Amino acid sequence: MNFSENVHFQMECKGMIIKELSQKTGISENTLKSYLKTNPVEPKAINSVKIARALGVSVEYLVTGGTEKTPQLSAETRFVAETFDTLSENDKKSVIALLKEMKSHR
């Protein structure tokens, strides 16, 4: 994946929208959108750092999709995360409760 795809994925995983990322980074929404479109503009290094910090990942992860400290997620894990993000808040609470119950029975 490329920078744009990695930022999109991390935003989805964290339930973050462009407006929130803009507020956390101080980067305008229009500039962020230019980084995230199909043929994205490459961000300045300082903006890459701001975005990585706001998303809680390394710049290396955003650029390459992985680091020694940031393993790539399996297809199954990504599917679960992406599906979870589409659920209602009530359904999310149910899934979390189910996972906690399953974990306690290990």
The answer to whether 70 and 15 have CB atoms below 8 angstroms apart is no
Sequence-separated (6 or more) residues with CB below 8 Å from residue 86: none
66-90 pLDDT, tens digit per residue, is 654 445 566 777 788 888 888 999 9
Count of domains observed in the chain: 1
pLDDT at 17 over 90: yes
37-51 pLDDT, tens digit per residue, is 878 888 999 999 999
Q: Is the pTM of this model over 0.75?
A: no
> Which residue shows structure tokens 């199954």?
76
The enclosing domain of 14 has a CATH number of 1.10.260.40
pLDDT at residue 70, as a whole number: 46
- Residue-range definition of the domain harbouring residue 92: 3-104
Q: Rounded to an integer, what distance in angstroms lies between the CA atom of residue 78 and that of residue 47?
A: 26
